Structures are given as C-alpha cells and as structure tokens.
Amino acid sequence: MDATDKLNYSYTFRKVQKNQRFKFQAIGRYTNEYELVVLPKPIILNFDLELIYPAYTGKSQSAYQHR
C-alpha cells in the first residue's frame, strides 16, 4: 500500500481474475469487508466503419458494416 499523503493510501490489485473480498487493517482494527467485482470481458457485437479518403487519392467514400 502506498501513502499518497498523510490521510490517503492507494493499492493496485494486479491480474485480478475473479471477485475478491478484502479488509483493511491498522493498529489492530479492521474495516468492514469490501468486494472487488470482476466484470465480464467486453466483446464487440457490431460496428460501422466509414472511410473518407483525401481528395488527392481519387478514391470514393465507402462504408462497411459488421453485424
């Protein structure tokens, strides 16, 4: 845990794969229990792509859809 100033601290959880419960402890006392919740990996369901080329290329505008 890193002190950011006299009253605040930070901690980085690394490579979290599943939900995790934790408490903080200082001077023999514990905080309430907290839960770090891991969200499902996001996925792209669909997207639209519009290509607008510079005039000097001579290419016409085109669009693509992925559904």
Burial class (CB in 10 A: 0-12, 13-18, 19+), 60: exposed
pTM above 0.75, yes or no: no
CA separation, residue 38 to residues 34, 42, 65 (Å): 13, 12, 31
pLDDT by residue (tens digit) across 40-52?
999 999 999 999 9
pLDDT at 66: 85
- The answer to whether residues 4 and 10 touch, using CB atoms and an 8 Å cutoff, is yes
